Structures are given as C-alpha cells and as structure tokens.
C-alpha cells in the first residue's frame, strides 16, 4: 500500500499545481500537455487526480483519529 499512497500523493500534488496555475494565470497545464480539456488523456489525468484525492481521505481520517501516525525507528546496531 505504500506505493499506492505515494502515487496518489504525487497525483494530488500535480493536481494542486495545475489548479494553482489555473487560478493565477488561467493556464491549464494538463490540458496544454494532453491536447485540451476534452482530450481523452486530459480527462484520464483529471479522473486519476480526483480518485487519488478520494483515496487519501482514508489516511487523512486515520491521521485525525490518532491511528495513522507511526514512528519507525531502526534498531540500534
């Protein structure tokens, strides 16, 4: 699950940067890269970013409940 959480966080960061660009400059980077907002690849990216945000609700709720923060220490040698 670590890889899935890492991937979804990366997609959320990409989505956040895209929204920052839309808000500041009215420039949609995803649409510019993949051929417009209606292009199939753009829609796939938008869907993956949205699903990533939904996926990250679980870890966020665990964090607020106190179950999600774990400190791992390497044993002394």
Domain boundaries, the chain: 2-65
Per-residue pLDDT tens digits for 40-77: 999 999 999 999 999 999 989 988 888 655 656 666 66
One-character DSSP codes across the chain: -HHHHHHHHHHHHHHHHHHHHHHHHS--HHHHHHTSTTSHHHHHHHHHHHHHHHHTHHHHHHHHHTSS-----PPP-
Is the pTM for the entire model greater than 0.75? yes
How does residue 12 score in pLDDT terms, banded at 50, 70 and 90?
very high
């Amino acid at each position: 699950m670590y890889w899935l959480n890492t991937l979804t966080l990366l997609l959320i960061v990409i989505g956040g940067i895209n929204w920052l660009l839309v808000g500041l400059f009215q420039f949609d980077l995803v649409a510019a890269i993949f051929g417009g907002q209606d292009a199939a690849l753009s829609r796939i990216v938008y869907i993956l970013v949205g699903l990533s945000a939904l996926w990250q609700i679980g870890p966020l709720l665990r964090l607020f409940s106190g179950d999600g923060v774990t400190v791992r220490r390497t044993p002394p040698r």
